[in-house]
Structures are given as C-alpha cells and as structure tokens.
Amino acid sequence: MTNMSRARVARRIAAGAAFGGGGIGLMGAAAVGLVLAEVRLARRQVGNGSPDHVPHAEGRYGGLYSTPGEPPLTLALLGDSTAAGQGVHRAQQTPGALLASGLAAVAERPVELRNVALPGARSDDLDRQVALVLADPARVPDICVVMVGANDVTHRMPATQSVRHLSAAVRRLRTAGAEVVVGTCPDLGTIEPVQQPLRWLARRASRQLAAAQTIGVVEQGGRTVSLGDLLGPEFAANPRELFGPDHYHPSAEGYATAAMAVLPTVCAALGLWPAEEERPDTFRREGFLPVAKAAAEAASEAGTEVTAAMPTGPRGPWALLKRRRRRRVTADGTGEPTPVLP
C-alpha cells in the first residue's frame, strides 16, 4: 500500500472514530477466513517462553540529580505488554525504566515512574488506565507515554473503535495538563512464527492502524512516534537479539531500541531538547505536511515523530514530521541505562 492510499484509509478511520462510525475493520471477514489456519499455528508458537511476571519498575530514577526543594519530574506509562515490559526479567530492562533514567539524565532531575500498562490490554482498557493515572488531581504526571494497538489488530477490533478510545484517552490526559507521547502500533508482520499470507495482512493492518492513531492523537494535542519499523528491518536483521524467548515480545536490547526512539520526543514535549533541533531539517526529509500524509509517512518509518503544527489548512490540520536522531544506551555508575548525547 502506498503512503497516499494509507493516508486516505487513515483519514476515513479517524473520521469514523470522531463521528461515531464503527464499520471499518482491521481485517475483512473474507481475509480472516483465508488465514484461520495460520492464526492457529501462530498462536501455538507465539507466547511460549515469555515470563508471566512483569518486572516491577515503578519508583524514582536519577537520584543523583536530586536538589532540595525541587520535585522530580513524573512519567506515567499506559498501554499493553510492550509498555509494561513483558518479556524481560529485570526492572532496568523495561521501557519505563529506560525512559525514566534517560529523561533524568537529559533533564538532570530525578524522575518518578508510574506504570499502569497491562499485558494483553487493548485500546478500550485505556479509559480504566487513565482513571488510575488521574485519580489524584494533585499528582497529574508531567508526561504520559502510551504504547497500544497490537492487541487491537490480533483481536480484530474495528479500527474506528480503537482510534476513538485512544483519542479519548489523549484528550483526558491533555485536559488534565499532562503532555502525551504515543508509540503507535508496531508492525506485527515481523513476528517470526507468522507466515504468509497472515504476515502481509498483519503488516497492512498494523500500519493502517498506526497512521489512523497518529491522526487521532495529533488532533487531541499529543505527539506520536512510529514503532512500526523498529519491529521491521532492525528486528528482522537481528531476531535472536531483539526478540525475547517467545519470539513476540522484544528482548532487553529490543526495548532499549524502542525506548531510545521515543526518548527524544518525550524530551521535546517537555521543552528539554535543543531549540535548533525543533526546526525542520530538510536533509532528514522533515517538514510540514497535512496530518494524514504525515501519519502515512510515519507509519512506514521507525522513530518518526508527528506533532501538531497548524490547526487548519486547505486539506485539514497540518503537522510537523520529524526524524529525530536516536540516542545510544550505556550504563552509568548506578547501573541505570542513560542516553549518549551528541
């Protein structure tokens, strides 16, 4: 599917989500009939070997940066097993811990991490998760990171319904005063046990949903980062290193790759990134685009950020598409992973 076609589909899904439509599914009924055998085979193979226990990573990171009288930044993670960190054994290997320690290093302030993500969750669980995050009006997080969508695809949730739930969650968080960054639906076509034609259908559905998610999130004042190709070329080239033992959830190295793609956008949302990095770089093919076109391009390239730019234009809202430089991860003296800055 071309980016132009993906942009049209994403606009239709986002419009359906906004105006109450629900008939656009992620996989058509006829296609489902063709791949039932593949689904059964993949289900038998995917999930074996993944730890049932998700490491508890909540707490304070970057304690070395504590300053008397200055409160820590607060970071909340919402979403599914990817946000929770399923598939690794140590708290420091989860995306929440990676993002919290990286943010602390950039901000030179401690970061308090809260994670309400639930393995197996779909977008319709975000209402419950947001309620947990906003239960105390005096403790609204500075920034929330949401990773969701994979289970919507595998459970064939209508895309309009999926985007509607995500958009509502972003709207509630933004209204409460939190910045929001959404890691969009990963490319499920790269999972090792999945064979053709299910692989092609999974990739198509994943990217369609990621593009539609981007439109919904940006229209509510959030930012998105494409996770699609992080489970594409890099994972396909190094499946033993970047996938965990169940061949479905990322390994520690895989989570680090995803977290370092999201970290620059988290920092930018909090005003912690250098001002010169906020201007579009034509050499990196960055610029202002209609939001649907920006969403379609982002769905095809990992680590691509989309954020609102202008409220309206001849083809609807416009967005800024950025391809931020990723940061490597090393261990500091406390054993916490931190980004290497240029």
Kindly name the residue from 81, 101, 206, 251 that is annotated as catalytic: 81
* Nearest alpha carbon to residue 279 among 290, 291, 270, 287: 287
Catalytic residue among 246, 247, 251, 300, which? 246
Q: Is 81 a catalytic residue?
A: yes
From the list 165, 187, 249, 251, the catalytic residue is 249
CA 178-182-185 angle, 5° bins: 160
Please report, for residues 144, 157, 196, the alpha-carbon distance to residue 121 in angstroms, rounded to integers and kept in the order given: 17, 12, 26
Closest CA to 147 of 135, 129, 171, 160: 129
Peptide bond into 314 cis (omega under 30): no
**Residue that has been written with the tokens 């093919």 in this structure:** 285
Which residues neighbour 283 within 8 Å (Cβ) at sequence distance 6 or greater? none
Q: Which amino acid is at 202?
A: A
CA angle 339–192–302, rounded 5-degree value: 35
**Closest listed residue to residue 109, CA positions, set 250, 270, 304, 318:** 270
Other C-beta atoms closer than 10 Å to the C-beta of 310 total 12
Would you name the residues annotated as active-site residues? 81, 246, 249
